[in-house]
């Protein structure tokens, strides 16, 4: 009987503790890397925002569901003849829905000795609705694409007045699409099975180079660097580490 009561109390305390809800809002810059620009850079970032809710299931473990909107842009940055001839730039808009798991390195929600900051990392899965809007000076028509992405990154949270959480975050999105920048090409990773390469019906001597050509061997990435503010509240108040074993005798 005592064992059953102990298990029930443990279950109730766990459920109460898992009722931390944390809605919030992020603003920041979105940037891209692909055929036109290699690597991360915030210099050509575009403004974006995110609304989210965290479900803090323990001191260290959190699930976060979020909706993000923003825009992306990019242009040739290498100063060589090929880039000068291609002279490519683009603009796009996107909407994103994602589910991420976060791990807090410090005991951020400890009720007895609460830390007021913690670094954390996260990863998850998401979907992106991409709409290319400009290919150079040419408006692009209806071309919405729904693609998968894998978000991951790091962040730092700081607790304000035990209820507000201020965080800075760097997020990388690995996509499975090579057309964010409207520039793609042949996949030559398997030399015996090249895909995505088309030649005109002419001799190779008369073949005109396509200066819009990119690489088909890798996919595009995009990034979010932002700051967020969220509010932490208890859905069900529940004392922690209470032990009703004291006696007046």
> Does residue 139 sit within a domain?
yes
With a cut of 90, say whether residue 49 has pLDDT above it: yes
Given a cut of 60, is residue 144 above it in pLDDT?
A: yes
User: 91 vs 37, which has greater pLDDT?
Assistant: 91
Asked whether residue 246 is domain-assigned, the answer is no
Cα gap 144→129, rounded to integer Å: 7
In a domain, 173, yes or no: yes
- Evaluate whether residue 14 is within a structural domain: no
pLDDT at 192: 52
| Alpha helix ranges (H) inside the chain | 2-17, 81-86
Structure tokens at 155: 């962040």
Burial of 165 (0-12, 13-18, 19+ CB in 10 A): buried
Lowest mean pLDDT among 6-15, 59-68, 91-100, 229-238: 6-15
Flag whether 5 is in a domain.
Answer: no
Q: Say which range, 106-110, 136-140, 210-214, 226-230, has the weakest mean pLDDT.
A: 210-214
3-state helix, strand, coil in the chain (%, to 5): 10, 50, 40
**Residue 240 placed within a domain:** no
**Looking at residue 128, which CATH number applies to its domain?**
2.40.160.20
Report d(CA 102, CA 54) in Å as an integer: 9
Q: Provide the pLDDT confidence category of residue 43 given band limits of 50, 70 and 90.
A: confident
The verdict on residue 56 lying in a domain is yes
pTM to 2 decimal places? 0.72
- Cα dihedral across residues 122, 123, 127, 128: positive or negative: positive
The top-scoring range by mean pLDDT among 36-40, 183-187, 205-209, 234-238 is 36-40
Give the pLDDT confidence score for residue 111 in this predicted structure.
Answer: 61
First to last CA, the chain: 24
**pLDDT given at position 44:** 79
Domain for residue 92, yes or no? yes
Contact 27, 226 (CB under 8 A): yes
Predicted confidence band of residue 7 (pLDDT cuts 50, 70, 90):
very low
Average pLDDT, the chain: 75
**Which residue shows structure tokens 């291609």?**
86
* Structural domain total, the chain: 1
Is residue 48's pLDDT more than 70? Answer: yes
Which residue segment(s) compose the domain that 65 sits in?
19-234
- Nearest CA to 62 among 165, 161, 150, 162? 165
Instruction: Give pLDDT, residue 136.
Output: 65
> Coil, helix or strand for 88?
coil
H or E stretch at 155: strand 145-160
Query: Quick one: DSSP state of residue 35?
Result: S
Q: How many CB atoms lie within 10 A of CB 221?
A: 18
- Name beta bridge partners: 225: 29, 170
């Amino acid at each position: 009987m005592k064992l059953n009561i102990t298990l029930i109390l443990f279950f109730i305390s766990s459920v109460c503790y898992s009722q931390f809800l944390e809605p919030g809002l992020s603003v920041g810059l979105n940037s891209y890397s692909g055929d036109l620009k290699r690597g991360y850079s915030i210099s050509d970032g575009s403004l974006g925002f995110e609304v989210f809710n965290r479900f803090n299931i323990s001191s260290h473990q959190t699930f976060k569901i979020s909706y993000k909107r923003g825009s992306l842009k990019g242009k040739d940055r290498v100063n060589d003849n090929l880039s000068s001839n291609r002279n490519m730039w683009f603009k796009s808009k996107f909407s994103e829905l994602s589910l991420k798991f976060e791990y807090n390195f410090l005991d951020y929600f400890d009720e007895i000795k609460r830390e007021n900051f913690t670094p954390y990392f996260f990863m998850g899965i998401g979907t992106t609705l991409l709409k290319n809007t400009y290919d150079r000076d040419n408006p692009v028509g209806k071309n919405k694409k729904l693609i998968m992405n894998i978000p991951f990154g790091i962040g730092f949270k700081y607790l304000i007045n035990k209820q507000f959480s201020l965080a800075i975050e760097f997020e990388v999105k690995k996509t499975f699409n090579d057309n964010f920048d409207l520039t793609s090409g042949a996949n030559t990773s398997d030399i015996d099975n090249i895909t995505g390469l088309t030649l005109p019906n002419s001799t190779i001597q008369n073949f005109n180079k396509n200066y819009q050509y990119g690489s088909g061997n890798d996919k595009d990435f995009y990034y979010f660097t932002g700051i967020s503010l969220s509010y932490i509240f208890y859905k069900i108040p529940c004392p922690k580490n209470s032990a009703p074993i004291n006696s007046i005798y």
